[in-house]
Amino acid sequence: MTAGAGGARRRAGKRHAPGTVGGLISECAARLDEAEVFFGHGTETARDEAAALVFHVLGLDHADAGRAYRRMVPETDRRKVESLLERRISTRHPLPYLTNEAWFAGLPFYVDARVLVPRSPFAELIASRFAPWLEPARVRRILEIGTGSGCIAVALARAFPDSRVVATDISPDALAVAAINVARHAVEKRVELVQADLFRGLKGRFDLIVTNPPYVPEADVATFPPEYGHEPRLALVSGADGMATPARILHHAARFLTPQGWLALEVGAGVGVLEARFPAVPFVWPELLNGGEGIALVSAADLRACLPGPGTQDDQ
Ligand SMILES: C[S@@+](CC[C@H](N)C(=O)[O-])C[C@H]1O[C@@H](n2cnc3c(N)ncnc32)[C@H](O)[C@@H]1O
Of 282, 303, 286, nearest to 295 by C-alpha is 286
Q: Is residue 129 domain-shared with residue 264, that is, in the same domain?
A: yes
Q: What is the pLDDT of residue 64?
A: 85
Closest CA to 102 of 111, 94, 115: 111
111 with 16, same domain?
A: no
Q: Indicate whether 50 pLDDT > 60.
A: yes
Is residue 266 domain-resident?
yes
163 located within any domain: yes
Full domain range(s) for residue 145 = 106-315
**What backbone torsions phi and psi does residue 20 show, to the nearest 5 degrees?**
-90, 170
Mutational pocket test of ligand 1: of 230, 234, 313, the residue with most ligand atoms within 8 Å of the beta carbon = 234
Q: Are residues 128 and 243 in the same domain?
A: yes
Q: Determine which residue's CA is closest to atom 11 belonging to ligand 1.
A: 146
Contact 17, 23 (CB under 8 A): yes
CB 124 within 8 A of CB 293: no
Pairing relationship of beta strands 102-104 and 107-109 according to DSSP bridges: antiparallel
Q: Which amino acid is at 8?
A: A
Res 309: pLDDT:
63
Q: Are strands 107-109 and 191-195 parallel, antiparallel or unpaired?
A: unpaired
Q: Specify whether 136 is located in the same domain as 282.
A: yes
Strands (E), 150-190: 164-169
65 and 137 housed in the same domain = no
Residue bearing the CA closest to ligand 1, atom 7:
118
- What residue's CA is closest to ligand 1, atom 17? 170
Asked if residue 114 and residue 95 are part of one domain, the reply reads no
Q: Tell me the CA–centroid distance for residue 197 and ligand 1, in Å.
A: 10
Q: What letter does residue 115 receive in the DSSP assignment? A: S
Q: How far, in Å, from the CA of 117 to the mean position of ligand 1? A: 11
Same domain as 78, residue 126: no
CATH code, domain carrying 265:
3.40.50.150
Instruction: Give 310's pLDDT tier (boundaries 50, 70, 90).
Output: low
Predicted confidence band at 313 (pLDDT cuts at 50, 70, 90)?
very low
> In CATH, what number is assigned to the domain containing residue 81?
1.10.8
Claim to verify: residue 133 and residue 95 sit in the same structural domain:
no
Same-domain status, 260 and 199: yes
In the chain, how many domains are there? Answer: 2
From 152, 149, 157, select the one nearest 115 (Cα to Cα). 149
Whether residue 133 is found in the same domain as residue 63: no
- Cα first-last separation, the chain: 37
Cβ-Cβ contacts under 8 Å for 261 (sequence gap 6 or more):
205, 206, 207, 208, 209, 299, 300
Give the helix/strand (H/E) hosting 272.
Answer: helix 271-277
What are residue 298's DSSP bridge partners?
263
Amino acid at 179: A
R_g over Cα of the chain: 21
Distance 14 CA to ligand 1 centre (A): 40
Q: How far is the CA of 168 from the centre of ligand 1 (A)?
A: 8
Do both 246 and 291 map to the same domain? yes
Q: How far is the CA of 212 from the centre of ligand 1 (A)?
A: 7
Ligand 1 proximal residues by C-beta, below 6 Å: 115-116, 118, 120, 145-149, 151-152, 168-171, 174, 197-198, 212-214, 234-235, 245
Q: At what angle do helices 46-58 and 21-35 cross, to 10 degrees?
A: 130
Are 2 and 42 in contact by the 8 Å Cβ rule? The answer is yes
Residue 92 has a pLDDT of 97
Binning pLDDT at 50, 70 and 90, where does residue 67 land?
A: confident
Q: Which residue, of 99, 116, 146, is where some domain finishes? A: 99
Give domain status of residue 1, yes or no: no
* Mean pLDDT on 242-259: 97
What spacing in Å lies between the alpha carbon of 152 and ligand 1's midpoint? 11
Instruction: Please tell me the pTM assigned to this model.
Output: 0.92
Cβ–Cβ under 8 Å, residues 286 and 126:
no
Domain-ending residue, one of 77, 99, 121: 99
Render pLDDT for 74-110 as a digit per residue (tens, 0 to 9): 999 999 999 999 999 999 999 999 999 999 999 999 9
Does one domain contain both 294 and 161? yes
Last residue of a domain, one of 48, 72, 99: 99
* 172 falls within a domain: yes
Distances (CA, A) of 264 to 6, 53, 117, 207, 211: 28, 33, 20, 11, 6
